[in-house]
Structure 1
Amino acid sequence: MEFIFHAHEGVVQSNGNSVRVAIDGQNPFVLPASCIYRIEMKEPQGDVPGQVVLVTSPSEGNPTGRILFSVDSHQYSEAQAFDQALRSMGQNITGHINPASGISNMSVSDIPSGQTKKLAWWIPVVSGFTALVLGVALGWGFTQMHAEHTLKEVVAAKDVEIERLDTSLNSVKAQLEAALGRDAGQGAGGDSGTSGDTEGRPNEEISNGGITMKLLESGEEPSISFDSCGDGCSNGKFAPKNPDADTKFWVATVEVTNNTKKPLDITCGYPYEIIALNSDNQQYTPIDDLYDVEGNPACNAELQPGTKTKVTYPFQVPLNAKMIGLAFRDIGDWSTDTPAQDNYAVIITDSNYHIS
C-alpha cells in the first residue's frame, strides 16, 4: 500500500520501504524510509499555513538534513496520516542515538598487601595544579563548543529559510514556464488544445493519463449521507451530515475507469488528483474520509485495471460560490516509472463557462 501527502511545494510518497520526494521544478529523489529520522509537524492556524519537516541525514546538498514543506489543513491531515502509516510500518522515524560500542570497561587493580607506599608531599600539589589547569582548559573548551553549536544552529535556521525560498522560487519558475508554454501554443494555433488540457461535458468520458472519468450528476445538497460512527471509523450505519457554518455541499458523482497497470485505492489512497472549480477559478478539494460517504468504495477496496466504479465526491464550498465543474489529473506511479500528467482534464457543468 502506498502513502502520500501533498504540500504547497510538492508531493511526498512512500511504499513503506522507500520515500519519494518530488519538489516542484526539481528532479524527484528517493530515500530509504529508514533515512527519515522523524517528521516534525506544525498545524495550520487560520490563514497561516502549517509546516511539515522531513528530518534526514545531512548531506552535501542539504547540510541541515531538513526538508521543509508548507501545507494547508487538508494537506496537514494527509501528512498526519503519512506519519502514522510510516510508524505503523515500524520504520525508524522517531530518531535515536546509538550508544558508543567497543569501549572496554576499565578498573584499577588493588595494591597488594605489604606494598602500600606513602605518597610524596608534592604529589597532591601537582595533582591539584593539574586539576586546576584541566578545569580551566575544559571550561574554555565547553564555552567554545557552546558558541560553535549556537552558531551552527543559527546557520542551520538560515539554511532552512534559504531552502524554503529556493523551493518556492523553483515552484514559481515552473508555473511561469508552464504558463508561457501554453501562451506560445495558443498564439501559434489559437485554442487548439496545445496546452494538453482536455475539456468535456457531463456524461462524456474524459481521459487523463491512465484515468478515465464520466460525470454522472452534480449539484448542491443540504446534507450528505455519512457513516455515523465518526471520523476514522465505520459501522455501516448512515446519518445526514450537514456542512459547516457559512458553507454548503457541492456533490459530484462520477464513474471512474482504471486504465493504468496497477490496482487503485480510490477512497484511502491518492490515485489521482480531483478538484472542484468555481466561476472565479478557485479550487476545492473533497472532504476527508470519502469511504464514509454512503455508496462509496470501502477503504482499501482496490479498483483493478480495466474495471470501473462509481464514486461520490462531496466538496464543502462557501455559500456564495458558483460551481462550474471538475478537474482531475493522473498523478502517475513512481514505483513503475509511470509519469504524472502536468495538465488537468476538465469537465464543465455550466455551458456559460469555458476553461482554456
Structure 2
Amino acid sequence: MSTNITPPPMPAQPPQPGKNNHTNAYIIGGAAIIAAAIVATGIAISGSGDDTAEPQPTVTVTETVEPEAAVEEDAAAATDQNADAKVGEEARNGGAVVKVTKLVEADTITVAGARKSAGADAKYVTLKTVVSNEGKAGMDLTCSLPIVNALIDDQGRRFDTIEDLYDVVGNPECNAQLQPGFDDEMQFVYRVPKDAVVTKWEFSEYDLENEVTPTLVDLT
C-alpha cells in the first residue's frame, strides 16, 4: 500500500526589482542631490550678501584756515587799548597831569597872527587842554616838549604836532616855564588827512632815564 506524501510548500521568493525601479531610484536620488545643491548655493549666496557692508554716506570735512592778520590790523592794535581817561577828565603820567577839554577840527588855524590852511586833502585837529605841573621842575610846554604825545586815528596811525606850537594863538611862549604846582592852558595842534577819524590821544612825561608807559585819552 502506497502513501502519498505532499511536500511542504516552498517559501515565496520576493519579487525582483525591475529595471524601471532602478531607473526611478536614480532619478529621485539625483533630483535630491541637485535640490540640496541649489539650497546650499542659495544659503551661501544669502550668507555672503549679509557680510557685504552697506554703502556709507560720504562725509566731507572742510577745514577753515584763518587768514593771517593784516598789517593794518597790527598797526591799529593801539586803538584797541583801554583808555585811562576821557575828554573832560584828568589824566596823569609822571608829574604831568593833562585834562583834554575840547577837540576842534578845522581847515585853517591862526599861526603867528596869520591864517594858515591845512590844504585840500588835510585838516587841522586841535586838542585844547589844561596842563598841571605836579613834578619837581619847570616845564617848557612849547619848546622843550616835556610832554611826549601823539594823536591816533581809527587805523592806528600816529600823528605828531605841527612845528612852532608857541606861534599858535593862545599857547604859552617859548621858554615860558610852567612851574611845579601851577597849571596853564595848552593847545596841541596836528595836521592829518581829511578823512582821518581820530580816536585817542597818547602822552607821557619826557624821561631819558626810565621807560615810561604812555597814558591814553579816549577822544570818541
Structure 1 residue 241: Cα displacement: 1.1
Deviations 1:235-259 (A, max 9, x none): xxx1211113411111111111111
Match of 1:252 in 2: 127
Match of 1:288 in 2: 163
- For the residue of structure 1 that corresponds to 2:98, the secondary structure is strand
Conserved 8 A contact 1:252-1:314 = yes
Structure-1 separation of matches of 2:96 and 2:151: 17
Structure 1 residue 299: Cα displacement: 0.4
RMSD: 2.1
Conserved 8 A contact 1:201-1:348 = yes
- For the residue of structure 2 that corresponds to 1:296, the secondary structure is coil
Determine if the alignment matches structure 1 residue 327 to structure 2 residue 212: no
Structure-2 separation of matches of 1:306 and 1:332: 19
Q: Which amino acid aligns with 2:205?
A: D
Structure-2 separation of matches of 1:333 and 1:217: 30
Structure-1 separation of matches of 2:104 and 2:169: 17
Count of residues in correspondence between the two structures: 142
Q: Which amino acid aligns with 2:122?
A: T
Structure 1 residue 219: Cα displacement: 2.5
User: Paired residue for 2:90, among 202, 205, 210?
Assistant: 205
Match of 1:58 in 2: none
Conserved 8 A contact 1:331-1:340 = no
Whose helix proportion is higher, 1 or 2?
Answer: 1
Conserved 8 A contact 1:198-1:344 = no
Structure 1 residue 198: Cα displacement: 5.5
Match of 1:314 in 2: 189
Match of 1:348 in 2: 218
Q: Which amino acid aligns with 1:303?
A: L
Off by >6 Å, runs of 4+ in structure 1: none
Q: Which runs of 5+ in 2 are unaligned?
A: 1-79
User: Within 5 A, what are the aligned runs for 1:18-97?
Assistant: none
Larger RCO (alpha carbons 8 Å, 6+ apart)? 2
Conserved 8 A contact 1:198-1:206 = no
What is the TM-score when the length of structure 1 is the normalising length? 0.38
What is the TM-score when the length of structure 2 is the normalising length? 0.60
User: Within 5 A, what are the aligned runs for 1:195-274?
Assistant: 199-227=84-112, 238-274=113-149
Query: What percent of counterpart residues are identical?
Result: 29
